[in-house]
Amino acid sequence: MRYLRNLLPLVIAVGVLNLLIEDRTVLRVLVLTLVWAIGGLAWNLLAKAGQISLGHGAFTGVGAYTFVLLMDNYGLNPWLGTLVAMVLAAIAAVIIGIPTFRLQGFYFTLATMAYPLILMLIVINWGYPEMTVAFHPEAPGAYMQWYEPQMFVWLLLVMLVGTLAFTLWVDGGRVGQALRAIRDNEVLARSIGIRSDRWKLFALATSAAISAALGVVWVNAVLLVVSAEEVFGIGVVILMLSVTFVGGIGRTWGPVLGAVVLVPLSQVLTFSIGDRVPGSETLIYGVALVLAALLAPAGLIVWLDRLRARVPWLRGPSADQELSMLADSGYGDLPAQREAVGTDGLLLRVDGVTKSFAGLTVLEDVSFSIERGARVGVIGPNGAGKTTLFNVLSGHLRQNAGTVTMNGEDISRLNAPQRFQNGLSRTFQHPQGFQRMTVLENIAVAAIGCGIGGDPYRAAGDVLEAVGLADKRAAVVTALTTYELKLLELARALVAQPYLLLVDEPLAGLNEAERKDYFAIFGRVVPEDTAVLVIEHSVRSLLEHVDTLIALDHGQVIAHGDPGDVVADPKIIEAYLGTKWSKQGADTAQTGED
Ligand SMILES: Nc1ncnc2c1ncn2[C@@H]1O[C@H](COP(=O)(O)OP(=O)(O)OP(=O)(O)O)[C@@H](O)[C@H]1O
């Protein structure tokens, strides 16, 4: 119902235009506007996960060639051809995505350019550089070959509404939240249970399927000939990217707005100066991209947002109303509880863990174990391998040798999201947050990711209350101080009710008062049966809160045991604490990092 209300004005506007316009040239502009609005929406699905593709021509091309080859060889009509094309494009997307998503950022974008080129060369060498669509005047409806452009407008309107409804569904729920989290910070997203590899494949496959369907309709409504250079060409992605970027990348309505502005403008220019300035159609997209980057980098949609904020009846819900809407959006009633696995006994066992980077051994045969509910400090000089140890334990890095066992289960082969779901949470040395989300959403997304069920918003609200950030629930994380960010990290880790909590340098960047407050809150909110492993250079503070110390140097455990014994060990004094420590004593001395 909510979607219908959002989409109705669009349906009415396009419907009225379609009924009123009689000029075929103007109708063609309307058709092209709808084509590239849908194309932009498809491309934008992947951009929501922060992935910029230059290869979407691969999918329109798969769509166009699948339908025309099936029609030519098997007499299959384009409607069935579209379904087959969508499935094939989704499969192609998964095959393309699995290796290409290993690349990050710019490298991913560059690699995507190769796929339409490869496919184009394949069909050209196969003997199909161009294919004419067989004409079926006896059954225009069955073969998507209407003479009246109005019929294509209706068809494209149905596709647009379908694509928009799908986009609204993505944006309004857990899928969109996961994609936004991945776009903001993939490492962080993985650390709270979001299987970024799967979500990116989902975004690419759905985006590809829609692009393939569009390829079929584009050929029938506009091109009439399937030319490899056109349907696989870079022009496809230039249009998809331009309308999305100009309208508002990542935003639900961005591509529609961009297409409404850009496509008619480019057509008017082509009609008026096209014969004198060849290529003027492409030129307008280039100029629009540059202007948008300079004047409205977040897209024209931002100007609409401002207008909406001024006009009371257009204004959307306030941040607080939105939060309560989210909280009421059909989750369970109460935060669920993680299954108890006993209150004592061995929790974690690290056995012979070794980790190297390109020949540099950073962890060497590290072994130790942790009891349930233990408080363990990890100390060592810069570069000793402390954070690498955390990355191996949390699944962000895979060890070269050795095993990690938690709750009696070998978790060595589990990835970061799976370890989080199994009850292993972490914080980061440099506090991290999803910048485009509110504080409450930052925690709720972790409550969803940990997979223990219940109402994630209520769980998030409760844990924010506990750490003292309840009044910041509607703030964006960029508005938080370092101290508040550290509490946010703690809240995010705790909402999963972990068995083991890894805390990386919690006191770095905090003043004396904040350090005291942090540990006071920490002591209050971390349950007794949750084991804690904490890296901290402020050994003096650490000694007050741990019952065991592990000292690392050059990737090896050089001491492990009672904190008093470890800091008195001459090896530790020489490697890390320095002679100042032994002269002044543990009560007052700190390491150089303090
Ligand atoms: N991804 C990586 N690729 C290559 N080398 C790395 C990588 N991560 C860490 N290292 C190297 O591993 C060594 C240990 O780094 P690590 O961050 O684990 O040390 P640390 O004990 O946490 O230090 P600090 O106290 O300064 O945070 C350093 O020499 C670092 O340069």
CA-closest residue to ligand 1 atom 29? 383
Residue 121 has pLDDT above 50, yes or no: yes
Confidence category of residue 324, pLDDT binned at 50, 70, 90: low
C-alpha 555 – ligand 1 centre gap (Å)? 10
Q: How confident is the model at residue 577 (pLDDT cuts 50, 70, 90)?
A: confident
Per-residue pLDDT reduced to its tens digit, 421-480 = 999 999 999 999 999 899 999 999 999 999 877 888 889 999 999 999 999 999 999 999
Q: Is the CB of 357 under 6 A from ligand 1?
A: yes
499-525 pLDDT tens trace: 999 999 999 999 999 999 999 999 999
Question: Can you tell me the distance from the alpha carbon of 453 to that of 449, in angstroms, rounded to the nearest whole number?
Answer: 9
CA–centroid distance, 178 to ligand 1, in Å, is 29
What is the CATH number that goes with domain 346-584? 3.40.50.300
Look up residue 315 and give its two tokens: 């204004």
Residue nearest to atom 4 of ligand 1 (CA): 357
Q: How far is the CA of 488 from the centre of ligand 1 (A)?
A: 24
Q: d(Cα 106, Cα 51) in Å, to the nearest integer?
A: 9
Answer whether residue 388 shows pLDDT above 90: yes
Task: Supply 447's token pair.
Answer: 């409550």
State which of 104, 388, 389, 552 you would mutate to test the pocket of ligand 1, scoring each by most atoms of that ligand within 8 A of its C-beta. Answer: 388
Which atom from ligand 1 is nearest to the alpha carbon of 555? Answer: 14
Kindly state if the Cβ of 386 falls inside 6 Å of ligand 1. Answer: yes
Ligand 1 center to residue 387 CA distance, Å? Answer: 7
Q: What distance in Å separates the CA atoms of residue 361 and residue 228, rounded to the nearest whole number?
A: 51
Ligand 1 pocket, residue 398 CB under 6 Å: no
Place of tokens 């007499």: 75
CA gap 530, 341 in Å, rounded: 11
At 581, is the pLDDT very low, low, confident or very high (cuts 50, 70, 90)?
low
Q: How far is residue 354's CA from residue 385's CA, in Å, rounded to a whole number?
A: 11
Q: What is the pTM of this model?
A: 0.87
Q: How far apart are CA 168 and CA 165, in angstroms?
A: 5
How far from 505 is each of 238, 312, 390, CA to CA, in Å? Answer: 45, 47, 11
Residue spans of the domains in the chain: they are 2-233, 346-584
Q: Is the CB of 362 under 6 A from ligand 1?
A: yes
Q: What would the pLDDT profile of 185-207 be if each residue is shown by its tens digit? A: 999 999 999 999 999 999 999 99
Nearest CA to ligand 1 atom 1: 357
Give the 3-state secondary structure of residue 290. helix
Cα 6 from chain centre: 25
Half-sphere exposure of 148 (CA within 13 A, CB side): 10
387 lines ligand 1 (CB under 6 A): yes
359 CA → ligand 1 middle, Å: 13
Residue 503 class from Cβ within 10 Å (0-12 exposed, 13-18 middle, 19+ buried)? buried
Ligand 1 centre distance from Cα of residue 367 (Å)? 19
